[in-house]
Structure 1
Amino acid sequence: MYKIITTSLVLLFTTIFYAQEKPTAENTGYTGTLTNYTGSTTIQTDNTVIENKLISGTIRIYANNVTIRNCKITTGGFYGIDIKEGENILIEDCEIEGMQSAAILGRNFTARRCNIWNSGADGIKPYSNFLIESCYFHHLGYVEDAHADGIQLVREGGGIITGNNFDMGPASGYKNSQCIIIQSNDAAVDDIVIDGNWINGGGYSVQIRERNYGPPTNISITNNLFGRDAQFGTHIIDGDNSVTNNVFNCNRYEDTNELVEGTTCDETLSTNNIELSNNIISYPNPITNELYVLENQGANYELYSNTGKLIMKNTITSNNFNVKTNNLTSGIYVLKIFTKEGVTTKKIIKN
């Protein structure tokens, strides 16, 4: 019997590496038969839904609650989707290719299971309030002098990058550069979670760089699997972590599962203890307000920040318990549930 918890958490059923399928061209992008899109490419009406369409040109958004789902977007313009204004933009199960600059530009969006490739330059250029999950980035930088990044963020922040595959090793005809680059070119950058991705290629695969507005702060890079195709190394992070509160934890090489050089693995932050996971918690994914939990009266739970700080703990005194999370900031947390059978560790993402 399932019970409901009202919460703003998105709960990942188990650790990404052991349960989530690695994003590829076969499990991202559109499926089924598409028909030509004949509507306006400038979206100005709230709650617009574009679904199951072949789209030629750039979609420009000036509205709230816009959904673009199961589509293929091909454009020679600068962007595939240019979010000018609006909140709660959902881009899901889309293939986006051909653009000169990036597949998606803007803020206040979720990009999920998108196949992003054949860009003149970058994959996604986000600003703030974004979730990029389970997308496939590959074959970027067809422009001759391209400096192509999978994700390029140069201001603002407040976003989550999780479960994506950055397949950016050497590719003929493409100038793959950094898989993820975050640097303060245009404004200060703060509060980014990079967790549970497959990351391969580039100069440094992940760069966190200080530019005009100081070093980026509160950048969490955890539980990622790195490939061996980076030219200079897996990562470079500017600034003093004791000041910037940046975290680099439990990142490993995909081929050997060995820890990346210069990092340790604090098991408090890890989610590899999953033996009991399937017996304790289930959920719809994604969720916004409701989380379904198996009956588990009498267990105890502890909630930790991604830096290992204990946030709260309590005893589950009924079969329908409610974890209050309204005061938590966006990011990744670790939930531990203690039962007579053992300890279950779950990764929690709060939007």
Structure 2
Amino acid sequence: MFTRQSNPTPGFIPLLAALVLALGSGSSSARSAATKHSLLPALSMGCGDYVSCGFPSAVNTGVLKGTTLKPMSGGADGINITQDGTVIDGADITGWINVSANNVTIRNSRISTTGYWGIMLAEGYSGLKVLNCTIVGVVGQGADNGGEDYGIANYGGPDVEIAYNDISEFAHNFAGSNGYVHDNYMHDMQAFIYGTGTDYAHLEDVYDGGNDTRPLILRHNTFLDQVTGDRGETAAVYATDDFGPLSNVTIDNNWMAGGAYALYAGSRTGNSTNIHVTNNYFSTVYFANSGFYGPLGAYDPQGSGNVFSTNVFADGPNAGQLITP
């Protein structure tokens, strides 16, 4: 779990993760637009990057080609959705979306935000689906000292689906401890000073702080964190026990690169269970070891139900080499 302020004020940061860092279904047209899940055979990939390897990219995520978007403004307080079953489709949204309702679908739309987030699902609500959207934080104009904290923030759940989206220019492209996150392209993290302090916000494509037994599934995504350490690099995926035990997390068949470590997947102190890390590809496009220090920052091999299997370097001199915790 992670905490937030209901009505953030300028200079206040709703996310606490950086302070503890130690160094259902969419429309048929939306689903057909992206590549199917395809498990690339380890050790014999035969391709050189996430695009040629069939992972999500700018060409197969985001707003569907040929869509004519209709302008929609969020106004000073953003767009507030309070009606169950609301559908937003084909909108060009300037602002951010606050969802306080069940079974809301936002699809095939572009969201350009200067708030703390692009889309936020409030606590106590479920069933949000975000499909084939392009979600962008406007660099230098966000509510958090010029930056935007979350592309999508899930305070609710559990039956949340985030799929086929192109999300960029946030400190955290997705923040939440449950849901089904698949076939997304998350990239180009935005570096900015954290609140009223002097340090840069720590950056992750995915942040899960634990304290939630509901499952989080990350499957067939591209996660890229290009930022260097002096500007807040953290991880492509950061899942740890910051706020309580980490459990029931599946990280399967993703392409990831960057961060201090590319992946944090549990606890160093045995405070994680049922963490499955399988069939992932760690790229060296930013750093020789995938992350600056290496591919894996935290994982407990002894945790009950934990599995770490068939994770490999995707490229570089060790392409195809198995990674072990």
TM-score by length of 2: 0.70
Question: Which of 125, 128, 140 lines up with 2:175 in the alignment?
Answer: 125
Relative to structure 1, the CA distance from residue 116 to residue 38 in structure 2 (aligned partners, 3 Å threshold; closer, same or farther) is closer
| Pair member with larger Rg | 1
Aligned equivalent of 2:191:
142
TM-score by length of 1: 0.65
Q: Map 1:49-68 to 2 at 5 A.
A: 49-68=87-106
Contact 1:138 1:166 (C-alpha < 8 Å) held by counterparts: yes
Aligned equivalent of 1:44:
82
Aligned equivalent of 2:311:
251
Q: Map 1:199-210 to 2 at 5 A.
A: 199-210=256-267
Distance in structure 2 (CA, Å) of the matches to 1:78 and 1:94: 18
- Give unpaired runs (5+ residues) of structure 1: 1-11, 264-351
Distance in structure 1 (CA, Å) of the matches to 2:94 and 2:270: 40
Relative to structure 1, the CA distance from residue 178 to residue 258 in structure 2 (aligned partners, 3 Å threshold; closer, same or farther) is same
Aligned equivalent of 2:206:
151
Aligned equivalent of 1:275:
none
Q: CA deviation at 1:221?
A: 0.5
Counterpart AA for 1:102: Y
Question: Which of 151, 156, 164 lines up with 2:221 in the alignment?
Answer: 164
Question: Which of 145, 149, 164 lines up with 1:113 in the alignment?
Answer: 164
Counterpart AA for 1:190: S
Counterpart AA for 2:314: E
3-state SS of the aligned residue for 1:143?
A: coil
Aligned equivalent of 2:29:
none
3-state SS of the aligned residue for 1:150?
A: strand
3-state SS of the aligned residue for 2:172?
A: coil
Distance in structure 1 (CA, Å) of the matches to 2:239 and 2:174: 12
Contact 1:139 1:171 (C-alpha < 8 Å) held by counterparts: no
Counterpart AA for 1:127: S
Counterpart AA for 1:30: V
Contact 2:274 2:303 (C-alpha < 8 Å) held by counterparts: no
3-state SS of the aligned residue for 2:215?
A: strand
Contact 1:114 1:135 (C-alpha < 8 Å) held by counterparts: yes
Question: Which of 125, 128, 142 lines up with 1:89 in the alignment?
Answer: 128
Q: CA deviation at 1:77?
A: 0.8
Name the Cα RMSD after superposition.
Answer: 2.6
Aligned equivalent of 2:281:
225
Q: Deviations over 1:172-200 (max 9, x none)?
A: 99744201111112222210000000011
Distance in structure 2 (CA, Å) of the matches to 1:177 and 1:117: 16
Counterpart AA for 2:280: N
Q: Deviations over 1:181-229 (max 9, x none)?
A: 1111222221000000001111111013438x96221110100111122
Q: Is residue 72 from structure 1 mapped to residue 110 from structure 2 by the alignment?
A: yes
Q: CA deviation at 1:33?
A: 1.6
Counterpart AA for 1:151: V
Q: Which has the higher strand share?
A: 1
3-state SS of the aligned residue for 1:243?
A: coil
Distance in structure 2 (CA, Å) of the matches to 1:132 and 1:14: 12
Contact 2:73 2:94 (C-alpha < 8 Å) held by counterparts: no
Counterpart AA for 2:173: G
Q: CA deviation at 1:253?
A: 1.5
Distance in structure 2 (CA, Å) of the matches to 1:221 and 1:238: 9
Q: Deviations over 1:52-82 (max 9, x none)?
A: 0011222111111110001111111111111
Question: Which of 28, 44, 58 lines up with 1:25 in the alignment?
Answer: 58
Relative to structure 1, the CA distance from residue 251 to residue 88 in structure 2 (aligned partners, 3 Å threshold; closer, same or farther) is same
Distance in structure 1 (CA, Å) of the matches to 2:228 and 2:261: 16
Q: CA deviation at 1:244?
A: 3.2
Matched residue count: 248
Q: CA deviation at 1:257?
A: 4.7
Relative to structure 1, the CA distance from residue 28 to residue 38 in structure 2 (aligned partners, 3 Å threshold; closer, same or farther) is same
Q: Is residue 216 from structure 1 mapped to residue 272 from structure 2 by the alignment?
A: yes
Q: CA deviation at 1:38?
A: 5.2
Distance in structure 1 (CA, Å) of the matches to 2:206 and 2:117: 14
Counterpart AA for 2:277: I
Q: Map 1:252-331 to 2 at 5 A.
A: 252-255=312-315, 257-262=319-324
Counterpart AA for 2:263: V
Contact 1:142 1:173 (C-alpha < 8 Å) held by counterparts: no
